[in-house]
Amino acid sequence: MKVLAFGASNNKNSINQQLAHYAAKQVPNAEITMLDIHQLEMPIFSDEREKELGQPEQAKQFFQAISEADLIVISFAEHNGSYTAAYKNVFDWTTRIDMKVFQGKPVIMLATSPGPGGAGSVLAAASGSAPYFAADVKASISLPSFYDNFDMETAQVTSEEFNRQLLDAIETL
């Protein structure tokens, strides 16, 4: 199974990138591709820039990466209760190629933050709007207090609750 995984974050040492990678590794026989959102940087979307630039190569790359995958694993970073500007910009440009960004693929949606909220607000927004973008959401799981629930040395989630929900979702695939 081809798994495309990424943290919806602009940080090179993103904790969400680490969580997405961990989750992807739990999928049996996974061929994992990790995507770096910070490598898909584009001008902030506007109608004028779209007229000028058309469909930027980075947005095409993002759409193509999704189309080549059998499963998408996204872990959302939360900035002020919502998406990071970096992810939202990639997403907005990509919706101009096709609103069905996720192309009917199964998607495991995750989110984490260092705090007890575990980026739950952005996760709720992402999973709530997912049907508009043709995502077949298999799970929506937040990991609160990342540094208490993730062993940095082994790169493993230690929360039994999280792991149970993740494995339940993987079993539905």
Ligand X SMILES: Cc1cc2nc3c(=O)[nH]c(=O)nc-3n(C[C@H](O)[C@H](O)[C@H](O)COP(=O)(O)O)c2cc1C
3-state SS class at 89: helix
Choice from 5, 14, 150, 165 touching ligand X (CB under 6 A): 14
Contact (CB, 8 A) for 56 and 42: yes
Binding mask 67-106 for ligand X (x = CB under 6 A): ----------xxxxx-------------------------
3-state SS class at 31: strand
19 vs 66, beta carbon nearer ligand X: 19
Q: How remote is the C-alpha of 68 from its chain's centroid? A: 16
- Main-chain phi, psi angles of 112, to 5 degrees: -150, 160
Choice from 9, 140, 142, 163 touching ligand X (CB under 6 A): 9
Half-sphere exposure for 135 (CA within 13 Å, toward CB): 22
Q: Is 56 in the site for ligand X (CB under 6 A)?
A: no
Q: Is 144 in the site for ligand X (CB under 6 A)?
A: no
Residues at the contact surface with ligand X, assessed by CB under 6 A: 7, 9, 11, 14-16, 77-81, 113-115, 117, 119
